[in-house]
Amino acid sequence: MEHITAFLTSVINVLFFKGTSIPLPSFMHSAAEFVTDVLTSDYFPLHIPYVDLYDHNLALAIIATALPPLVWNIIGPLEYYTKIPSRLSIRPIIGVYLSGAIIAALSVLRSALFIVAIRGQEKLSYFDTSMFHATGGFLAVWGVSMFLGAYYRLGIRGTYLGDYFGFLMDHKISAFPFSICNNPMYDGSSLMHLAEAIMERSPTGILLSLWLFFCYRFGCVLEEPFTSKLYAERDAQREAERLQKLAETKTS
């Protein structure tokens, strides 16, 4: 319990104050050391100005950014093929909320480690102008609008793997922000991190924002075909039921 309290306190301190560290399990640090070794090896083709590739916190942020899409692309198919998550949680709806809690917690951790990483890296005075401040503010407002708008349209079930647990939506959502792009929650989150990077004058933050965007896009490559399959199966089942009822009506 003390470890959990210390972890939550450190995350809050980073997100809302000026904290610079978060206690993490040893496997995260081991993975970060591996990422650092890769980034600083002679085989890594890029030398990135203003970015310290030896920074351990940068490696932690890279790993934490990839975790949420990876986790939901594991939990979703696992539920569809085996029903293990819903069995462990007794009921499918509880599985949705537990999955949502895990994904949300990982997302908060990602954002906190993002902030820790950019606070320890070099800042560009070139970004300290009214134009960049205004750009960062605009991107933040736009990103938050897209993120919260998508959350409002989807609800908890639609946001956190509800379709994998059998809670499919009746119709495709086309209202804002889905009228702007197909994945407003992902794009909104990326814009929010980019805005933070610009306002913090951090080249490292900009690169991490691009990495976040890439992770979301890669997650979509895995997620969208599977989601389309779920709805195609639901539509086929509805059509079969409609034809069966029609046949029963004719025979009667």
Task: Give the integer Cα–Cα distance in Å for 126 and 118.
Answer: 16
Question: Helical H runs in the chain?
Answer: 2-16, 26-39, 56-82, 84-88, 92-119, 130-159, 184-199, 203-251
Residue tagged 């809050």 (tokens): 12
Tell me whether residue 223 is annotated as binding: yes
Tell me whether residue 120 is annotated as binding: no
Tell me whether residue 188 is annotated as binding: no
Task: Give the integer Cα–Cα distance in Å for 159 and 141.
Answer: 21
Rg (the chain; Cα; Å): 21
Closest CA to 212 of 78, 84, 64: 64
Closest CA to 205 of 138, 121, 139, 130: 121
The three-point CA angle 7-89-112 to 5° equals 25
Tell me whether residue 51 is annotated as binding: no
Tell me whether residue 38 is annotated as binding: no
DSSP 201-247: T-HHHHHHHHHHHHHHHHHHHHHHHHHHHHHHHHHHHHHHHHHHHHH
Give binding residues as ranges: 141-143, 223-224
Give binding residues for S-adenosyl-L-methionine as ranges: 141-143, 223-224
